[in-house]
Amino acid sequence: MKHLRIQHSKSHIKKIRLSVILIIIGITVGISSAGALESSVERFVTANGLNIRYHEQGTGTPLILLHGGGLTSKMWEAFIPYAAKHFRVLAPDTRGHGLTNNPDGKFSYQLLAEDTIAFAEALKIEKPIICGYSDGGITAVTVAKNHPSFPRAIVTCGAAPVSENLTHYIAGLKLFFAIEVNNTLSDKDLDTIASERPEMVKKYQFLHQQNNDPQYWRTLMKTVWPQWASPGFYNAQDISQITVPTLILLGDRDEFFQVEDAVKLLRMLPDGYLAIGPGASHTFFRDKPELFHSLLFDFLLNKAISNENSNSINENGRSL
């Protein structure tokens, strides 16, 4: 497979050259979604007070795939069979999503990070690569910030939570859900979403089948919304704690995070890599799946796994 260039950043280098990847033709990596999750094994494990449903396939270095908010592990169905040729892939449904319960009805990125660590520990997984999209990307960053030695490497797709200015992000929420953004969701807001975004609601009803309740999507949305409406951000000191290889993967048309946010995050990371998808939105993985998977897989094979045998670490925590 042809390796694509991804810009590398180290904190001790004063000038960081940012290369934007221009792709003129599609890159085929032989990924097919046909029968995507049929070869994976569906299991449940108890961790952090949750009964977590997850899919597992493959052997080797553990790779935990975290889906975005409102989605489930199914979002990775095209990628899992291909990744499983090289990794032990584990794709959980996060709290309250899919078939994973949420008994106390709590939701935050800190909790999702704790869930991810508890999930890995319950399965006796050490030094996983953590790859997350959107909410999952913020979770991956949070895990690596709070527990720098826990992951082998991380990937944040469609998320660069370092901007204090949330104007672009809030506009994205309004666009996606067709409502004014407040800290909580009212029943009227949910009625508006059902009226203006019926296909989205149908998808939520299909994906999140808790207690056979077709209206559970309303409970889920009310649970996650306060965190979505006020996502917070990390500063340079926070991000400097992340010493493992980190890929930022973002579409240049992302409705929530801008390229400038991704560049800012890159410059904060001791060992950061940036890949920009031209013409891709927040749903980069769906807009241009072959490009998305190619960029992701290139990093996993050439940076994340290579970190396994790495490169000793000096007293400042930087790769030598």
240 pLDDT band, cuts 50/70/90, is very high
Query: What number is the average pLDDT over the span 293-314?
Result: 74
Cα–Cα distance measured from residue 298 to residue 3, given in angstroms and rounded to the nearest whole number: 6
Residue 105 φ/ψ region, left for φ over 0, alpha for ψ in the -120 to 50 degree band, beta for the rest: left
Q: Which residues contact 56 (CB under 8 A, 6 or more apart)?
A: 40, 41, 43, 88, 89, 90, 91
Say which residue the tokens 């010493």 belong to. Answer: 243
pTM of the full structure: 0.86
37 pLDDT band, cuts 50/70/90, is low
In terms of residues, how long is the chain? 320
pLDDT at residue 13 tops 70: no
> Both tokens of residue 71?
């989605």
Cα–Cα distance measured from residue 26 to residue 5, given in angstroms and rounded to the nearest whole number: 15
Which percentage of the chain shows pLDDT scores above 90?
Answer: 81
Which percentage of the chain shows pLDDT scores above 70?
Answer: 83
Helix (H, G, I), strand (E, B) or coil at 45: strand
Query: What number is the average pLDDT over the span 146-155?
Result: 97
Which class in CATH covers the domain with range 7-165+233-309?
alpha beta
Q: What is the mean pLDDT of the chain?
A: 87
Say which residue the tokens 């949420």 belong to. Answer: 102
Q: What angle do CA 239, 241, 242 make, to 5 degrees?
A: 75
Residue 202 φ/ψ region, left for φ over 0, alpha for ψ in the -120 to 50 degree band, beta for the rest: alpha
pLDDT at residue 290 tops 90: yes
Cβ neighbours, 10 Å, residue 178: 14
Domain with CATH 3.40.50.1820 in the chain: 7-165+233-309
Cα–Cα distance measured from residue 241 to residue 31, given in angstroms and rounded to the nearest whole number: 35
Beta bridge partners of 44: 53
